[in-house]
Amino acid sequence: MIIKRAEIPGDKSISHRALILGAIAEGDTRIKNFSNSGDCRSTFNVLKELGVNVAEKAPSELVVRGVGLRGFKKPGKDLYAGNSGTTMRLMSGALAGQAFDSVVTGDASLSKRPMKRVLIPLREMNAEIEGVEDNYPPLRIRGSKLHSIDYDSPVASAQVKSCLMLAGLYAEGETTVTEPVKSRDHTERMMKYMGAEIKEEGLKVTVNGGSKLQGREIEVPGDISSAAYFIVAALLKGGETEIECVGVNNTRTGIINVLKKMGGKIEFKNPRSISNEPVADIHVEKGQLRGIEIIGEDIPGMIDEIPVIAVAATQAEGKTVISGARELRVKETDRIKAICSELAKMGAKIQEKEDGMIIEGPTPLKPVEVNSYGDHRMAMALSIACLVSESGTDKIINKECCEISFPGFFNVFSRFKSNEVEA
Ligand code: S3P
């Protein structure tokens, strides 16, 4: 089966960045294959509130009229980031350097996510920013004149790095961020693509304050984090499957490396580059997987894919051990706890560890009711577990939340099931 380009949404991370960088650029940025996900809509709405004109030309095509680095208007109300950590963390970097005050709020899940990781370095840059209990949203930002910093981030987080790179555009001098392990580098690539001066050296990235961005056409690759569900489905249950035009940036392909190590037959066809991001068509064949060990330094490259990797591991021969994944506890839900409890309900041999999990396979999965806990990645990973257990996705409580990153997921899933799954 071929999963067409239009069936997998545009990359969510790249779509957020295209909107934000387009907004603070000079001139127009036309974004093609934009992700119409709930999260990217949050960024879209926040920018509109800041006076940015974004015209919708077609269902996945937008034109952002850049207002330049200092062109945002003071918002008339609080800025609502919905469920989106990327919106809140990246925008707080851009807002810290403005000449006005703002407040960024979120939904119940986002209101429980840690923001201290951006408050600390932003304050080092002279930002005035406060959160509830000095950690949680809403964030109250008083626009101020920023200083550049050289920051050693304790977490490998592209949201933290990108927040500081954005703030760095408003600071005098060079702002450098060093990470413990490299996280996704879409901000670096897009800033360069739009003409900013960015230096990269190993785990260090440096932005020059005042660097101007030039609006450009940006074509967004398919989201590998969304394709991941169909890659695992094809390995476990499918015939040959090809997914067209997926982003294969090596800061995101951790899931491919792991599934290949597990024995999965996956090939990149027709590799090419669009808007400074590598893409390929991903070809997958069904086959038996075997358990492996996944360690801390592997995690940033597959941070959002651990729930679906856990589903794959329930069907692999032997033991899969995932360690160094503590960050999963502060995502949209505690994903370590959630995936362990729900797969255990289905009969998987899975043991929760403080920083990961241990899974013994292969085990048949039972068609019982499971809960997504309102987390999109849980809903989609559990859909693949339901496919293995031969139960319907009506067994997943609150499955509609997959719209946060993958609108139309269940349509593609139904087509996959009717085409590919052997009776
Ligand atoms: C994202 C970075 C990751 C990821 C999230 C999107 C981004 O978060 O989990 O879904 O677009 O920068 P962290 O940077 O906090 O790990």
pLDDT interval class at 392 (50, 70, 90): confident
Q: Which of 11, 185, 298, 304 is catalytic?
A: 304
Query: What atom in ligand 1 is closest to the CA of residue 183?
Result: 14
pLDDT of residue 419: 87
Give 222-249 pLDDT, tens digit per residue: 999 999 999 999 999 988 999 999 999 9
C-alpha to C-alpha distance for 251 and 277, rounded to whole angstroms: 11
Residues in the chain: 423
Give 305-361 pLDDT, tens digit per residue: 999 999 999 999 999 999 999 999 999 999 999 999 999 999 999 999 999 999 999
pLDDT interval class at 423 (50, 70, 90): very low
Asked whether the beta carbons of 218 and 22 are under 8 A apart, the reply is yes
In this structure, the residues whose C-beta lies within 6 A of any atom of ligand 1 are 13, 16, 86, 157-159, 162, 183-184, 303-304, 327
Which residues on adjacent β-strands are paired with residue 371? 397
Q: Which of 118, 159, 331 to mutate to test the pocket of ligand 1 (most atoms within 8 A of CB)?
A: 159
pLDDT of residue 383: 98
304 belongs to the catalytic site: yes
Q: What is the mean pLDDT of residues 147-169?
A: 98
Question: What percentage of the chain exceeds 90 in pLDDT?
Answer: 96
Average pLDDT over the chain, rounded to whole? 97
Asked whether the beta carbons of 18 and 29 are under 8 A apart, the reply is yes
Give 88-140 pLDDT, tens digit per residue: 999 999 999 999 999 999 999 999 999 999 999 999 999 999 999 999 999 99
Domains and CATH numbers, the chain: 11-219 (3.65.10.10), 224-417 (3.65.10.10)
Question: Quick one: which of 38, 39, 44, 37 has its CA closest to 20?
Answer: 44
Question: Quick one: which of 295, 294, 325, 297 has its CA closest to 181?
Answer: 297
| Main-chain dihedrals φ then ψ at residue 110, nearest 5 degrees | -65, -30
Please give the distance, rounded to the nearest whole angstrom, from the Cα atom of residue 230 to the centre of ligand 1: 21
What is the pTM (predicted TM-score) of this model?
Answer: 0.98
pLDDT of residue 46: 98
